[in-house]
Amino acid sequence: MRERERPIRVLIAKVGLDGHDRGARVIAAALRDAGMEVIYTGLRQTPEAVVRTAIEEDVDVIGISSLSGAHMTIFPRVLELMRAHGLDDVLLTGGGTIPPEDAARLEAMGVGRLFPPGTPMREITDYIRSWVLEHRRSPASS
């Protein structure tokens, strides 16, 4: 199978002390139902563990669920680690209880679109598919 034809691989992560993962599990199931391969890290991961897993699993997308209010620490740290490891062709996205002004600041830093609770699943899957189609490294550049 050629690289561009393989399923989109998504890592869903819960970083820090946030112990609420129902939303992350719902998203993981919806992405699987949409034909994506999903790896779920489980609770209380570190940014370093998330990026290490993303590299090991060769993912196209890292999705972080953040309900603890630590999003302005977690997302920038994950983004910093992604850049340090050359993961420029991997989307960092996520959702949770992130105020719109913080989401705008994170997006200005390079984080992808962030989705609040209640976002239709189709909107999330369409965004991921579109981003990956546009940014996935071609086999010749690998």
Q: What is the pLDDT of residue 16?
A: 86
Q: What pTM was estimated for this model as a whole?
A: 0.92
Residue 87 is given by DSSP the state: -
Question: Of 112, 115, 89, which Cα lies nearest the Cα of 9?
Answer: 89
Q: What is the pLDDT of residue 4?
A: 56
Dump strand ranges (E) for the chain. Answer: 9-14, 37-40, 61-66, 91-96, 114-115
Q: What is the pLDDT of residue 20?
A: 83
Bridging pattern class, strands 37-40 and 9-14: parallel
Q: How many helices (H) and strands (E) does the chain have?
A: 5, 5
Residue 1 CB burial class (10 angstroms; 0-12, 13-18, ≥19) = exposed
Q: 3-class SS at 62? A: strand
Q: Taking CA 138 as the corner, what is the angle to CA 39 and CA 74, rounded to the nearest 5 degrees?
A: 40
Please name the residue that has the structure tokens 């209380």. 44
User: What is the CATH number assigned to the segment(s) 3-135?
Assistant: 3.40.50.280
pLDDT in tens, the chain (142 residues): 445 578 999 999 999 887 888 889 999 999 999 999 999 998 999 999 999 999 999 999 999 999 999 999 999 999 999 999 999 999 999 999 999 999 999 999 999 999 999 999 999 999 999 999 999 866 544 4
